[in-house]
Chain A
Amino acid sequence: MATVRVQREDFDAGAEAAALARGRADVGAVVSFVGFCRDDGGRLAALELEHYPGMAEAEMARAAAEAEARWPLLGVTAIHRFGRIAPGEQIVLVAVASAHRGEAFAAAEMLMDFLKTRAPFWKRALMRDGTVGGWVEAREADDASAARWSAADR
């Protein structure tokens, strides 16, 4: 049921969210999240996103399957880009449809937590002065956020 895509090109977040509800009367809620490339200090030219082809799609599909097993969802779309992405551009989308808003909000949040900590993508900073910045470091806060969804607190 879930739609998972890993792609270089941009996506239309509004169209993806709308597609989950189109033509059906049982969807009462669609929650979508879009993550953007952010430049904190005015020095970033772009992020270069590397990924593990095959495993990236597989991990996103596993995360979607876990969400579908946990809540009565009516549709899930997850899209993650790779390659060079400039500040202000979209990087990732999760959109979830359900009958009621609670499941859709929760599932979208869990999907993002799992994508950040389990899907094999790595960001590197390309600076405006032409230098290659460092690899972005993983944040412990993301691990803690993902751990909230562990089976123990079901």
Chain B
Amino acid sequence: MKLIYFAWVRERVGKGEEELDLPPDVVTVGDLIAWLASRGEEYAYAFEKPMAVRAALDKVHAGRGAAIAGAKEVAFFPPMTGG
């Protein structure tokens, strides 16, 4: 699955995007965050406050309980500050 990171999430993870094979027990956005946070200190730092990070599935905002099956890309980013 393609993962994309923006703003300080990108800086903390240390890359803008990556392709990862997810374990079968990663079903929801929340599961994915918990799994990513366990992958190393850069991920743990990016997701240290899980509620501070927003997610999108295929460019649509998604909550923690959203199922990721079928999504082509999952994006993680801070709350938006445009406008």
Contacts and interface: CB of A to CB of B under 8 A. Distances in A.
Contacts of A9: none
The interface size bin for chain A is: 20 to 34
Given A120-B6, A122-B6, A135-B7, A55 B83 contact: no
Given A115-B82, A115-B83, A119-B83, A135 B8 contact: yes
The interface size bin for chain B is: 10 to 19
A122 B7 contact: yes
B83 A112 contact: yes
Interface string B41-83: 0000000000000001001110000000000000101111111
A122 B75 contact: no
Interface of A: 35, 49-52, 54-56, 58-59, 80, 91-92, 112, 115-124, 135-138, 142
